[in-house]
């Protein structure tokens, strides 16, 4: 597993002439990181992709960093111990920061169970550019959904350190937005996210 090490004294940050501000002018919209967090089965990925589709249809440049997809490449060397989960979120945070600078509305869909790691991700971003969205869903409903069969395996002891069963989920205390996905439809949830983006002046005037 890769660990964060001290920066080499031989590396110097290169300041590009094409800045984030210039990209925003060209794109006609701001970039931001939407960080979806919640239990497995809470609807994070479904909502993130639905929000992306809405934004894309309105002409915004978007990209979703999905938990399972990232573990097929960028984080394929990591397991699910607490230390490896922290490293997973660290890598995702740095990737999201690069996409933010690239002028892209970046949506991340990760359980990201620990408050400390979400706080580190937030501190990486400029003030106001990290929007934490808690996809709340009661554990029993997440287990009823269990589309991947993971809760069943965790209950049987076949999966160790499984969030909500054998590993804790530290829910956000003051998220920018909390969506109860057990009560709201996907359409209603998308509307809540886009309303927040409109309030933050991230959606351009022409967006629906």
Q: Which residue has the higher pLDDT, 92 or 105?
A: 105
Taking only the tens place, the pLDDT of each residue in 104-116 is: 999 999 899 999 9
Each residue of 29-87: pLDDT tens digit? 999 999 999 999 999 999 999 999 999 999 999 999 986 666 666 667 677 777 887 88
Q: Which pLDDT score, from 0 to 100, does residue 189 have?
A: 98
Q: Are 115 and 134 in contact (CB under 8 A)?
A: no
What's the mean pLDDT when you consider all of the chain? Answer: 87
- Residues with catalytic annotation? 112
Q: Which of 78-92, 130-144, 193-207 has the lowest mean pLDDT?
A: 78-92
Give the domain ranges of the chain. Answer: 31-137+169-199
> To the nearest whole percent, how much of the chain has pLDDT over 90?
63
- May I ask the CATH class of domain 31-137+169-199? alpha beta
Closest residue by Cα to residue 18 from 92, 81, 98, 101: 101
Distance CA 43, CA 46 (A): 5
Map tokens 């590009």 to a residue: 16
Q: What's the pLDDT score for residue 12?
A: 60
Q: Which pLDDT score, from 0 to 100, does residue 57 have?
A: 93
* pLDDT at residue 79, as a whole number: 72
For residue 104, the model assigns a pLDDT of 95
d(CA 45, CA 37): 9
How far CA 90 is from CA of 75, 112, 116, 174, in Å, comes to: 10, 10, 11, 21
User: How far lies 105's CA from each of 82, 108, 197, in Å?
Assistant: 28, 10, 11
Q: Is the pLDDT of residue 165 over 70?
A: yes
pLDDT of residue 1: 47
Backbone dihedral angles phi then psi of residue 179, each to the nearest 5 degrees: -120, 120
pLDDT at 2: 45
**Percent of the chain beyond pLDDT 70?**
87
């Amino acid at each position: 597993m890769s660990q964060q090490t001290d920066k080499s004294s031989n590396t110097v940050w290169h300041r590009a002439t094409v800045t984030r501000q210039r990209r925003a002018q060209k794109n006609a919209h701001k970039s931001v990181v939407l960080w979806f967090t919640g239990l497995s089965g809470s609807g994070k990925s479904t909502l993130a992709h639905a929000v992306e589709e809405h934004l894309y249809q309105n002409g915004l440049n978007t990209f979703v960093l999905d938990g399972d997809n990232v573990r097929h490449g960028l984080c394929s060397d990591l397991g699910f111990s607490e230390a490896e989960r922290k490293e997973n979120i660290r890598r995702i945070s740095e990737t999201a920061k690069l996409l933010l600078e690239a002028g892209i509305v970046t949506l991340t869909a990760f359980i990201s169970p620990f408050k400390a790691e979400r706080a580190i991700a937030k501190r990486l971003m400029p003030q106001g550019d990290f929007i934490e969205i808690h996809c709340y869903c009661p554990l029993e409903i997440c287990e009823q959904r269990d589309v991947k069969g993971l809760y069943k395996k965790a209950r049987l002891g076949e999966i160790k350190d499984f969030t909500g069963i054998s590993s804790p989920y530290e829910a956000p205390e003051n998220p920018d937005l909390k969506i109860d996905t057990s009560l709201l439809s996907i359409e209603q949830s998308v509307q809540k996210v886009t309303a927040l983006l409109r309030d933050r002046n991230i959606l351009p005037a022409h967006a629906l």
